[in-house]
Amino acid sequence: MAGKGPAPKPQKARRNAEVVPSRVVEAAPAVQPDLPEFDVQVTVEGVLESARYEWPEMTRNWWRMLALHPLVGEFTEIDWQFLLDTARIHAAFWEGNLKLAPELRLREAKYGFTPEDRLRLRLSFAQTDEAEDRVKRRREQGFGSGARERRGGFTG
């Protein structure tokens, strides 16, 4: 007797969906705007008054770091408007509204803020000459690129 159980079903050839071609459109990159100045309504001793909004330091730092984003040269005015709205969410998060954390995470993911986000977006950043020089200097200082070079050979 050859084997136990029913015979295996014949395998069907896998058919992947047709690949939809990409459209290439012209888009004009835009310069990063400054964080806007605006007034907010605050209650002072029971009286509603208007006061200049102060961006949290963490949000100002976050906005400055956006200027270093590798794709910043491709951001359009629409991107910057989306990121300005995201800055308001970022500010509210740092002012204590932790319920906004999921929305902030989703918005930042769209721009590849974390290594996982970049993998999902199929983005990879090329190493700069500076990074390559840093690795070269570390090797010259005795830091190898692998564990065996750093720790020496196995002695048993």
Per DSSP, 65 falls in state H
Query: Which residue range(s) make up the domain with 65?
Result: 55-123
Domain assignment present for residue 91? The answer is yes
Write the DSSP string, 20-61.
PPPP-------PPPPPPP-EEEEEETTEEEEEE----HHHHH
User: Among 117, 119, 59, 46, which Cα is nearest to 89's?
Assistant: 59
Domain assignment present for residue 35? The answer is no
Token output for 37? 């100045």
Q: With residue 86 as reference, give the H or E element that holds it.
A: helix 77-94
Domain assignment present for residue 135? The answer is no
Q: What are the pLDDT digits (tens) for 84-134?
A: 999 999 999 999 999 999 999 999 999 999 989 989 988 887 776 666 676
Token output for 20? 């939809």
Domain assignment present for residue 147? The answer is no
Supply the pTM of this predicted model: 0.67
pLDDT confidence band for 142 (50 / 70 / 90): low
Domain assignment present for residue 113? The answer is yes
8 Å CB contact between 87 and 57? no
Q: What are the pLDDT digits (tens) for 38-60?
A: 999 988 888 899 999 999 999 99
Count helices and strands (H / E) in the chain: 6, 2
Count of structural domains, the chain: 1
Strand partners, 155: none
